[in-house]
Amino acid sequence: MRENAAKKIAIYCRVSTDEQAKEGVSLDEQKARLHAYCRAMGWATEAVEYIDDGYSAKNMERPALERLLRHVKTGRVERLMVTKLDRLSRRLLDLLTLIELFQNHDVSFVSTSESFDTATPSGRLTLQVLGAVAEFERERIRERVFDNMLHAAKMGKWLTQAPYGYRLDAKKLVICEMEALLVQRVFRMFVEDGLGYFQIAKKLNQEHIPSRNGKAWSIRSVKIMLSNPAYAGTLVWNRVDSSQKRRVLKEEDAWVEMRDAHPAIVEQALWHQAQQRIASHPRMPPRAQASPHLLGGYLRCGECGAAMSIGWSGNPRRTRVYRCSAYRNQGLCQSKPYRADDVERWFVEALECVVEPVNHARHTALVQRVRAEQIAKLDQRMHAAKMRYDRQVEAYTAGLIEMDTLAREKVALKRCVAEYAKEMSTTDSSSHDKELEERLRGRAVTLGDALTVLPADWIKAKLRTWIHSVILHGREDLEIVLCPDLTMVSDAMDQSIGGFLEYGVE
């Protein structure tokens, strides 16, 4: 249709699913009323229909309305008709915007129920008054809905779709055991193993574990799971404002938070560790996570603070080097490249100095644990010997055995008591502790030895739980920056070192 073609009368009809169910305002009925109105007014101009089926009037993002407005701007419409004002919009601001658009393009607006035409001043005044009333009513409805949902949230009722790991039963969350095990595993992979969102999603997809909707896992789905307070048993509602075109996070004062509202899948300690890591760690790019180079994604330039990336130097004999990306990409830094083998050796040596107190504590703890196990075995043997003698006494009293049999059992008990006293004195001695500690040190694998045989991505995942970054200031001058939370660093360091040594021994 060309711009200079005859203008049309536009008929706009809209219905949402809720309105159709409650009020019976069908699209067919709206169209019939508008066409009848045209005939009654004697308008012979052809009427063109614009239909939005199942769209709310809270905003103007509707396909038929958008097409209608394009036609208004190109001069194809002379009059717009609706059965009722709220068919077009429930917001006064949107209505005033539309009226201004219609006026600029000489389009009159007619509502059959309210009996006005914006071609007249009285019609425009009536439209503004009715628009204000419609918006007021909409706000009233929104407040009532909010109050009802707030009451339901405080009663512990879940108001949306159940998250992965739960099922809804009478609007209450109940644990789905199979899915809950996977949720716990994801949290452990993130906190204890140091895996990132990408690595976790990749691992789940490789194991062909489907998500709730049957789709593959993604960085976003893993992050949403790790950030969802529902897994700690907490219901949080009214965090996001969805009334605008773009969802906006509200202030924490407006949130509705109910602790212990439903059974928790993840322990509180593990949940808080996950949130601490999310808050304190910058997300390492997936490419850096999978990098086979030990310090890829960690190492930063001491000159300018930019990341240092792996490169190659020399021809024909190529050598791995760490080079400042600011120099490599922009030429802005004067830092020279460093041989990667040297930098990684410096890092391991520095790391051994950092973890030496933890290694010593681990050896001491191992000695104490072995001693406790030995004492428990001795106590068990002693208890079994006493119980056996007591049963023999009962048998002799009942006339089931002879005196000689009881006497032999008494001799055996005395021998067991003597052995128990001897072994207990040996176990409690400091020389025994030193001997045991030397044996443990002889069998232990050093951190440096472990790091030379373990996969780089596995090592980096463990280190990521407590190391924030590594800064290279110069030759043999490395700065290891730990995470801000000292408690988390201590726990994660202990778990990592244990994992290195156990993995190396295996």
Q: What digits encode the pLDDT tens for the residues 255-274?
A: 667 788 888 999 988 898 88
CB 239 within 8 A of CB 248: no
The structure tokens listed for 239 are 């965090």
Alpha helices, H only, 207-254? 219-227
- Residues 494, 498: Cα–Cα separation, whole Å: 6
Burial 338-353 (b: 16+ CB within 10 A, else e): bebeebbebbbebbee
pLDDT at 364 over 80: no
CB 112 within 8 A of CB 83: yes
CB 78 within 8 A of CB 45: yes
Range from 9-13, 101-105, 417-421 that averages highest in pLDDT: 9-13
Residue 284's pLDDT is 55
Q: Among 20-24, 175-179, 213-217, name the one with the lowest average pLDDT.
A: 20-24
Nearest to 18, CA basis, from 80, 98, 86, 102: 86
Q: Among 35-49, 86-100, 194-208, name the one with the lowest average pLDDT.
A: 86-100
Residue 480's pLDDT is 80
End-to-end CA gap in the chain? 78
Residue 505's pLDDT is 40
Q: Among 17-26, 282-291, 386-395, 471-480, name the one with the lowest average pLDDT.
A: 282-291
Please report, rounded to a whole number, the percentage of residues in the chain having pLDDT higher than 90: 10
CB 333 within 8 A of CB 407: no
- Residues 40, 459: Cα–Cα separation, whole Å: 81
* Residues marked as catalytic: 16
Confidence class for position 11, pLDDT limits 50, 70, 90: very high
Look up tokens 């596995």; give the residue: 458
Domains of the chain with bracketed CATH: 8-148 (3.40.50.1390), 166-280 (3.90.1750.20), 343-505 (no CATH)
For 454, phi then psi, to 5°, come to -85, 150
Work out the number of other CB atoms within 10 angstroms of the CB of residue 217. 22
- Residues 133, 431: Cα–Cα separation, whole Å: 91
pLDDT at 354 over 70: no
pLDDT higher at 98 or 367: 98
Residue 180's pLDDT is 92
The structure tokens listed for 21 are 């169910």
Q: At what angle do helices 486-505 and 268-280 cross, to 10 degrees?
A: 100
Residue 136's pLDDT is 77
pLDDT at 471 over 50: yes
Please report, rounded to a whole number, the percentage of residues in the chain having pLDDT higher than 70: 70
pLDDT at 400 over 50: yes
For residue 437, what is the DSSP state? H
pLDDT at 2 over 80: no
Q: What digits encode the pLDDT tens for the residues 110-134?
A: 888 877 777 677 777 776 776 677 6
pLDDT at 176 over 80: yes
Q: Among 167-176, 433-442, 453-462, 481-490, name the one with the lowest average pLDDT.
A: 433-442
Residue 309's pLDDT is 82
pLDDT at 503 over 50: no
Residue 504's pLDDT is 43
Residue 73's pLDDT is 92
pLDDT at 8 over 50: yes
Range from 55-69, 124-138, 318-332, 431-445 that averages highest in pLDDT: 55-69
Round the average pLDDT of the chain to a whole number and report it.
Answer: 77
Q: At what angle do helices 92-104 and 63-73 cross, to 10 degrees?
A: 30
Q: Is-cis flag, bond preceding 455, omega within 30?
A: no
Nearest to 190, CA basis, from 182, 200, 180, 181: 200
pLDDT at 185 over 90: yes
Quote the pTM value: 0.45
CB 86 within 8 A of CB 134: yes
Residue 302's pLDDT is 84
Residue 10's pLDDT is 93
Which residue type sits at 301? Answer: C
